[in-house]
Structure 1
Amino acid sequence: MLVRRSLGLWLCSSLIGLLAGLGSAQEEDQVVVRFEPADLVHVIEGTVHEVTWSTPLDDVSRVTASVEDQMVAEVVGVSDVTRSAPGGNATHYGSLNVSALFIGYNKVRVTLFDRQDVVVGEGTLDMSVLLSYQKINDIFTLTIGILVAVVYINMGATMDLKIIKNISKKPIGPLLGIVCQYLFMPLIAFGLGKLAFPENVLAQLGMFLTGCSPGGGLSNMWTYLLGGSLDLSILMTFTSTIFAFATLPLWVFLMGPVILGETDFAIPYKDIAMLVVSLSVPCCVGILVQRFLPRVAKVLEWLLTPLSIFIVVFIFTFGVYANIYVFSFFDLRPAWPPSSPQTLLVGFGLPTIGYLTGLLAAKLFRLPTQDVIAISIETGVQNASVAIFILKFTLEKPAGDLTVVFPAASTVMTPVPLLLVLIAQKIYSCTAKSKSADIAPLEGKAGLENKKNNKKNEKGHSTQKEMKKQFEGGVDNPAVQLQDEAV
């Protein structure tokens, strides 16, 4: 009985000691540095902010302050440690000045030292910096959203249902384009983001959403310039846009947790899904216009090419001015992964790998050369304006402004491989013409008769082309132009 009582007293004392130890540990885990204001969120670049710190620790003789990313902000002044009056919650306090330099996220760290210069406490202050010309940037964001909606209206009004019906009889091209666009491209973008920016969640998210975006942009123009099937390109752009309403939110939902990992950043899945689905409304409006207002649809069809050119010019003029900060990310920044200019390289790599993927897939199915060109271009050219629109409208600032750096880099680098191929085509064409010019022309009567016959054939062929244009829809139909030039 006595042994049991002694054992019970020992267990109680041990439990009390354990609880006391846990209590003291919890007190040690409590924040020893408090800030006023509690954070520096959404401050404007170019401004300086004073922050007051305080601590209940008794032995504090010196304080230092630093920032994680010196490109975003810097500490421009730290006051001496001051002892508080007795009776307060804090025994020591001081202040520091933080200057906001550039858009981004940052942390301000304050370290406390005692008389023996030993660290006795630390505290961190969250900070985020916005653009100084934020209103201009917001105007660009709103305008690009309106332009995307208008393009979707024009796209719905432009589709030729007869062409769709003919191609749908053998839909190998469109189906292959959809597989390349929404199976391979998101995985390629995900892999490139993980490889180039293993520690940067925003970079990975920006790259991934670019890869999930529908085809479009100037894919139809480049298909026309490089001799591809314009009809197939237009149909693929349309079907790609339609499928984006389901595939883009689905990919974000599936791969979002993989990208984020254990970070605190949250992707607004619901907002992205609603925004993507809402883009179907302008497209449906365009289809209704084509059905009930054919004259208006003709005008919208005529405006599609000028509007596409205007969007490109708008992005590369006012868009560059409103997002001039983007070009700062094209150089290496100390806080980002070192060793190479990843932003531009990945921006070049995503469309280039897309072109090669579409090319190999189309070659594997032994499709005609014109279809191969269309599928290759449509796979690699992403409608980055959709990604920019989604990122800026769904993510909080400055996260949205930071992630659009990667769709912007892809937009800048997308035409480069196509331009190189176009130059190579022109050089080859000029070389072939020069070789044919070196061959001596036919002489004598037989040669003159052949020339006359050729002129007659050309005249008859041109007459057939004019009749075909009148039957198919006139000279304003670019698909007919392409077919005529290919004959």
Structure 2
Amino acid sequence: MKKVATVTRLSANFIAIIFIILLSLCLASHVQGQYTYGQIAGAWNISYADGSTEYQLTISQELQEVNLQIYNLDLSSNIDFHFEIHADNEKVSHVDKRIERSDIIQQQNGSTTSSNSVWQGAVLVQTRHFGFTNLYVTLHPRNGAAVERSPGDLTLAVARKDRLDEKIFSYTASTLLLLMFLNLGAVLDLQRLKAIFLRPLAVSLGICTSYILMPALALALGYCCLPEKQELQLALFFTALSPSGGLANICTIFLKGNVNLSIATTTINSLLSLTMFPLWMLILTHTLFVNTELDVPLADLALSAGALICAIGLGILLRILLPKTTLVIIRFLKPFCACLSLTLIGMTVGINAFAFKELTPWIFLAAFFLPIIGFVVSFGLSKLLRCSASDAITISIETSVLNMTVPIILLQHSFDEVRSDMTLIVPIMAALLSLLMMAVIYTIRRIFGWNENLDTGAYNSKVYLVQNYSEKSELPR
């Protein structure tokens, strides 16, 4: 037993000695290689030659020049060294530049005793992907001393090149949306629309869920899923705040909702955006985003709302003046609008395919829960306030089907080109997931036989055709 105890004690002592030796070696290497600054070339620093704090380039296969300077160099010591310039995000850009001490001497006309020497020259940058990276400089002495790093980094922004197809897309998408609203205006029932405004509970609830529930939900999801990423939080908030648009009206038709209520809510929300957007921006800039400047494109919003009203009004006039045209629109409304919607979605995804490289699991979760929670809560509130079945499903659709065009415009006005490109994935993904949710709900309702007209407010093409035939027969010859 004594021998066993002695062996155990010796083993423990041996292990303790080995641990102390390893710990000492680690501490010694840490002390030898720890960050030191100002011992070799003084309190040097870096900056862009034009004095800016951020430099912007575009994605290109060719090398691009960035004028950089290293200043406050003290060359009084005889220690030989060189500088190296790198980018900390190789995914965005690649920089590999070496500056010898002799290059600095040549810049200073051969003087080796200046305490305020400056090196200035062009650094070649290979841009690879849009985004941000930091340029930093390290000083490497030849005597084996610790490597020094510049006390501050320089921001390099890499933007995408302007492409003609994006401008073509914006005009084409606007035309398709106006054509969609023109067709929707042709199926409006003015008598039912009048009844909706005489009893505005459903419209008021749709406004409250769109401009109170959804923005508050977006702020909560942004705080939980995207902490310390202010640009992405704002992108999610803009997505929730934007009026639903024509896709919500199409989803209402397919899910047998109240088309008149849907179009009325969309129109009113578009008009209210002219006051609700500035109000929310004022609240945010004085509470959560104090140091952020948010610009509201009121002219674009007003133009969109005016074009929407004109398109719907033109559809109403077509129904009154050209009933034969209206019959064709009503008969083929669902397939025609479905084709328009799929075209818009395909164009948007194709043009903005670059944004999907910025998708992260947390962005996906935020974009996933925003429409789902909005749909469930708005439907529950509608049933709690005794709305009809078609009105409840309509309010839920208007709340949860998310727009991607308006938030993209807001992001482009609030951020520079690079930051807006990096946040586009939020509205695009949220809008796609909201439409996917509608497709799942529609499929489930069709499988179980629930996708039927639940009340007189629901859309029924046969009823509309009968009404238009009767209106046509009553026209004077």
TM-score by length of 2: 0.72
Contact 1:80 1:94 in 2 (8 A): no
Superposed displacement of residue 120, structure 1 = 7.0
Once the two structures are superposed, what CA deviation does each residue of 1:171-221 show, in whole Å capped at 9, x if it has no partner?
Answer: 211111111111101111122122221122221111111000112342223
Report what 2:467 is aligned to: 472
Contact 2:85 2:136 in 1 (8 A): yes
Superposed displacement of residue 124, structure 1 = 2.8
Whichever residue aligns with residue 75 of structure 1, its letter is V
Report what 1:216 is aligned to: 245
Report what 2:265 is aligned to: 236
Q: Take 1:266 and 1:361, find their aligned partners in 2: how far apart are those partners?
A: 35
Report what 2:298 is aligned to: 273
Spell out the pairing of 1:113-128 with structure 2 (5 A cutoff): 116-117=145-146, 119=148, 121-128=150-157
Q: Take 2:298 and 2:267, find their aligned partners in 1: how far apart are those partners?
A: 19
Find the residue that maps to 2:95 and give its secondary structure. strand
Which of the numbers 367, 384, 399 marks the counterpart of 2:404? 384
Once the two structures are superposed, what CA deviation does each residue of 1:255-281 show, in whole Å capped at 9, x if it has no partner?
Answer: 24545444xx53223xx2332123233
Spell out the pairing of 1:64-213 with structure 2 (5 A cutoff): 64-81=84-101, 82-85=103-106, 86=108, 90-92=117-119, 96-112=123-139, 116-117=145-146, 119=148, 121-132=150-161, 134-148=163-177, 159-213=188-242
Task: Indicate yes or no: 2:76 matched with 1:57.
Answer: no
Q: Take 1:467 and 1:110, find their aligned partners in 2: how far apart are those partners?
A: 73
Report what 1:429 is aligned to: 449
Superposed displacement of residue 42, structure 1 = 3.7
Summarize the Cα distance change of 1:297–1:205 in structure 2 as closer, same or farther, 3 Å threshold: farther
Report what 1:403 is aligned to: 423
Contact 1:155 1:283 in 2 (8 A): no
Report what 2:33 is aligned to: none
Superposed displacement of residue 43, structure 1 = 1.9
Task: Indicate yes or no: 2:386 matched with 1:361.
Answer: no
Summarize the Cα distance change of 1:91–1:385 in structure 2 as closer, same or farther, 3 Å threshold: closer
Q: Please say which of residues 60-69 and 103-112 is displaced more in the overlay.
A: 60-69
Q: Take 2:70 and 2:470, find their aligned partners in 1: how far apart are those partners?
A: 77
Which of the numbers 386, 394, 412 marks the counterpart of 2:432? 412
Summarize the Cα distance change of 1:359–1:391 in structure 2 as closer, same or farther, 3 Å threshold: same
Once the two structures are superposed, what CA deviation does each residue of 1:260-314 show, in whole Å capped at 9, x if it has no partner?
Answer: 444xx53223xx2332123233134346646877547996993976774455333
Contact 1:103 1:130 in 2 (8 A): yes
Report what 2:7 is aligned to: none
Find the residue that maps to 1:278 and give its secondary structure. helix
Task: Indicate yes or no: 2:47 matched with 1:34.
Answer: yes
Which of the numbers 326, 333, 343 marks the counterpart of 2:363? 343
Q: Take 1:219 and 1:421, find their aligned partners in 2: how far apart are those partners?
A: 14
Summarize the Cα distance change of 1:101–1:153 in structure 2 as closer, same or farther, 3 Å threshold: same
Question: Aligned-pair RMSD on alpha carbons?
Answer: 3.8
Superposed displacement of residue 149, structure 1 = 5.6
Q: How many residues align?
A: 403
Find the residue that maps to 1:473 and give its secondary structure. helix
Find the residue that maps to 2:243 and give its secondary structure. coil
Superposed displacement of residue 99, structure 1 = 2.0
Q: Take 1:402 and 1:191, find their aligned partners in 2: how far apart are those partners?
A: 21
Q: Take 1:42 and 1:158, find their aligned partners in 2: how far apart are those partners?
A: 50
Find the residue that maps to 1:129 and give its secondary structure. strand
Whichever residue aligns with residue 129 of structure 1, its letter is V
Superposed displacement of residue 155, structure 1 = 6.2
Contact 1:350 1:410 in 2 (8 A): yes
Spell out the pairing of 1:37-48 with structure 2 (5 A cutoff): 40-48=55-63
Summarize the Cα distance change of 1:195–1:468 in structure 2 as closer, same or farther, 3 Å threshold: closer
Summarize the Cα distance change of 1:91–1:226 in structure 2 as closer, same or farther, 3 Å threshold: closer
Q: Take 2:230 and 2:461, find their aligned partners in 1: how far apart are those partners?
A: 57
Instruction: State, as a whole percentage, how many aligned pairs show the same letter.
Output: 24
Summarize the Cα distance change of 1:283–1:157 in structure 2 as closer, same or farther, 3 Å threshold: farther
Summarize the Cα distance change of 1:407–1:173 in structure 2 as closer, same or farther, 3 Å threshold: same
Name structure 2 gaps, 5 residues minimum. Answer: 1-41, 451-459, 472-477
